[in-house]
Amino acid sequence: MTYRDHFFKYLAQTSSFPLALEIEKAEGIYMYGTDGREYIDMISGISVSAVGHRHPDVVAAMKEQLDHHLHLMVYGELIQPPQTNLACLLTGHLPATLNNVYLVNSGSEAIEGALKLAKRYTRRTEVVAFKDAYHGSSHGALSITGREAIKQSFRPLLPDIRHIVFNDPGMLDQITKRTACVVAETIQGEAGAVVPGKNFMQALRQRCYDTGALLILDEIQAGMGRTGELWAFSHFGIEPDILTLAKGFGGGMPLGAFIASREMMRCLSERPVLGHITTFGGNALCSAAATATLQTIIGKRLWENAVRQEKTIRKHLIHNDILKIRGKGLLLAVEFDSADRCKKIIDRCLEGGLLTDWFLFADHCMRIAPPLTITSEEVEKACAVILQAVEDVAG
C-alpha cells in the first residue's frame, strides 16, 4: 500500500476530485513532490502562507518556543508570553478601538466568537450578512455564508439571519435597530475576489452607526497585507467594531482571532462567566509563529510587495481568453468564460509545475494568491506557466 492508497482509504474526503499531489517538503513559494517535481504555490494553502512556506523567522520562533512549553492550560487562565507578545504587537498596529484580542484556532471559530460577542453585547438577535460571502463550515459560520447550495442539506441552521446583496447601497435599509451585527468580508474571497466600492463600505459603516448594529469585518482571507494594505478596511477609510483573522495570521500554524474593544469583550467574561471558552485557542506554538509572521509582514512592508506584484501580474497575464482579473493586491481572480475552461487551465498549470485552483463560489475564476514574499522574477516565471496553460487549452 502507498501513501496515496492510504490517503483515499483512511482519510475522510471533502470531494471526489482532490488534487492528491504527494508533497514532501515546502519552502518559500515552492512545494516539492515525492516524485521529485517542484511546484510554484500560487495559492498559499488558500491565503495561508503569507510569508512563504517555512519562513526562517517563523521556524526559529517555533523552535525557541519548543524549548519553553507547548500547551499549558485552556485559553484565558495562565499568562503565556507568546500570547501576550502577539496581542501587544497586533493591537499596536490596529485602530485604537480594536484593543482586545480573543485567540481561537481557526477562521470559523473566530466568526463564531464574533457572532456570540455581538449578540451578547447588543442583546439583539438578527444578523445581516451578504450573498456569496463565505465565513466557514461550522453551524454558525455556515448560517451566515451566502450560498444556499452548500447550506440546504444542513438545515435547520441559525435563525434570524438576513442575506443582502453585497456592494448594493440600496439594500442597507434592511439593517435596522433589530440588527445585532452585520458581517462582511472586507473584500469577498470565495465569491471570486470581489472588491466593493468605497462609497458602499462607507455607507455600510454609517448605517451600522445609525442603527447601533455592530460591524464585523471578516479579514480571514483579505487581512495580513494580502490586498495591498496591512488591513483591507484601510482601503475604504472605515474601521470595524469587531475584526476576525485566521489563515495567514498563524504563518502556517492554526490560529484565529476576533478583536474588539476591551469594554465590549468584557461581556464574554460575565453573566455568564466563561461565556466563550476554548481549550487550544492561542496555542503557544501557534502564537509564537503568528508573532514572527506579523513581525515579518510589518518589517518588510509586504503589503507593498503585494501591490508591486499585482502590477506585474496584470502586465503579464494578457490573453484573449482572460476576460478580466478581479481583486486587489495578491488576492486575484483570473476570469474565464466557463468553469470547464478554468478547470482545464488549472490542470495544465499543475502539469506545468504550478499549483492553483478555482473559487468556491466562482468556479470560472482561477485563484492567484501566492505568498506575499514572491519576487518579480518568480511572478514572471509563474505567469509564463499560466499563459502557456491558457494557450494550450485555447488551441
Summarize as ranges the residues that interact with ligand PMP (CB under 6 A): 46, 106-108, 111, 134-136, 185, 189-190, 218, 220-221, 246
Closest to ligand PMP by CB, 243 vs 382, is 243
Residue 187 CB, nearest distance to ligand PMP (Å)? 9
Distance (Å, rounded) from C-alpha 25 to C-alpha 69?
A: 26
Closest to ligand PMP by CB, 28 vs 256, is 256
Residue 148 CB, nearest distance to ligand PMP (Å)? 18
Residue 299 CB, nearest distance to ligand PMP (Å)? 25
Q: Extract the C-alpha cell encoding 359.
A: 473559487
Q: Who's near 282: CB < 8 A, 6+ residues apart? A: 75, 80, 82, 83, 86, 103, 104, 255
Residue 220 CB, nearest distance to ligand PMP (Å)? 4
Closest to ligand PMP by CB, 371 vs 390, is 371
Distance (Å, rounded) from C-alpha 185 to C-alpha 197?
A: 13
Residue 44 CB, nearest distance to ligand PMP (Å)? 12
Closest to ligand PMP by CB, 211 vs 227, is 227
Closest to ligand PMP by CB, 254 vs 390, is 254
Residue 190 CB, nearest distance to ligand PMP (Å)? 6
Closest to ligand PMP by CB, 223 vs 383, is 223
CB 145 within 8 A of CB 133: yes
Closest to ligand PMP by CB, 137 vs 202, is 137
Best CA proximity match to 176, nearest among 165, 159, 162: 162
CB 182 within 8 A of CB 176: no
User: Which single residue brings its beta carbon nearest to ligand PMP?
Assistant: 107
Closest to ligand PMP by CB, 190 vs 357, is 190
Closest to ligand PMP by CB, 226 vs 348, is 226
Residue 232 CB, nearest distance to ligand PMP (Å)? 10
Residue 231 CB, nearest distance to ligand PMP (Å)? 14
Residue 53 CB, nearest distance to ligand PMP (Å)? 18
